[in-house]
Amino acid sequence: MNNFSFAKEKDHNVILNVSVKPNSKTQEVLFDSDIDALVFYLKSPPDKGKANKELVKFLAKLLNISSANVQLTSGQTSRDKTITIQNTSIIDLQNRLNEIVENKK
């Protein structure tokens, strides 16, 4: 996960392009090098925004920030989504995601 082409920084915010897989058996995030994106596996169904809410809460928990700082900015009804994380940098995001990956090993 060296490139981080799925993220860009703008005005002290990070904009992420992610993919989601609702109705999964586990809740986890993986990097898929084939599509160069973070893929979030969510337990919730894609019904009435349940998976979107789980995505925001899960990402906030992973990054140890308030869910108020994580906003779904596009893709409400799609598996491909854009998320804005306020008051952070790509470096902070990269460090936290690398910690998560290292802890899984």
Question: Angle at Cα 38 formed by Cα 85 and Cα 99, nearest 5°?
Answer: 75
Containing 60, the helix (H) or strand (E) segment is: helix 50-63
List of domains in the chain: 7-104 (3.30.1200.10)
The parts of the chain modelled with pLDDT lower than 50 are: 1
CA distance 49 to 58: 14
The whole-model pTM stands at 0.89
pLDDT given at position 98: 79
